[in-house]
A and B are shown apart, each in its own frame.
Chain A
Amino acid sequence: MDKFIELGQDMAALWLQYWDRYLVGIRSTLILAVVATLIGCVIGLVCGILNTIPYSKNDSLPKRFVLKLIRVIVRIYVEVFRGTPMVLQAVFIYYGLPYFTNQQIMFRGNSGLWLAAIIVVSINTGAYMAESVRGGIISIDPGQTEGAKAIGMTHVQTMTSVILPQAFRNILPQIGNNFIINIKDTSVMFIIGFIEFFGQHRNIVGNNNMYFQSAAIEMIGYLTMTLIASFLLRRLEKWLDGNSSYELVQDDALTLSAGTYTHPGKGTPFDERSPEGALTQEQRERKHQELKHGRSRGER
Chain B
Amino acid sequence: MSETILEVRHLSKSFGDHEVLKDIDFTVCKGDVTSIIGASGSGKSTLLRCINLLETPSSGQILFHGQDVTGKGVNPSQYRSKVGMVFQSFNLFNNMTVLENCMVGQVKVLKKSKTEARENAMKYLEQVGMTPYIKAKPRQISGGQKQRVAIARALAMEPEVLLFDEPTSALDPEMVGEVLSVMRDLAQNGMTMLVVTHEMAFARDVSSQVVFMSDGVICEQGDPRQVFSNPQQQRTREFLSRFMAH
A interface residues with partner B (beta carbon < 8 Å): 56, 58, 141, 143-144, 146-154, 157, 161-162, 165-166, 169, 246-250, 298
Contact = CB atoms under 8 A, between A and B. Distances in A.
A143 B132 contact: no
Nearest to B70: A58
A154 B185 CA distance: 31
Contacts of B105: 151-153
A154 B93 contact: no
13 contacts: A56-B56, A147-B93, A149-B54, A149-B77, A151-B84, A153-B109, A157-B108, A161-B104, A169-B95, A246-B97, A246-B133, A248-B135, A250-B132
B131 interface: yes
A239 to B, nearest CB: 15
Nearest to A145: B91
Given A56-B56, A152-B81, A152-B82, 11 more contacts: A146-B91, A147-B92, A151-B80, A151-B104, A151-B153, A151-B157, A157-B108, A161-B104, A166-B94, A246-B136, A249-B133
Contacts of A166: 94-95
Contacts of B80: 149-152
Interface of B: 52, 54, 56, 76-82, 84-85, 87, 89-95, 97, 104-105, 108-109, 131-137, 140, 150, 153-154, 157
A143 B154 contact: no
B77 A146 contact: no
Given A150-B84, A150-B154, A249-B135, A162 B93 contact: yes
A168 to B, nearest CB: 9
A148 B93 contact: yes
Nearest to B49: A146
Nearest to A169: B95
A154 B91 contact: no
Contact of B87 (A143, A153, A157, A161): A143
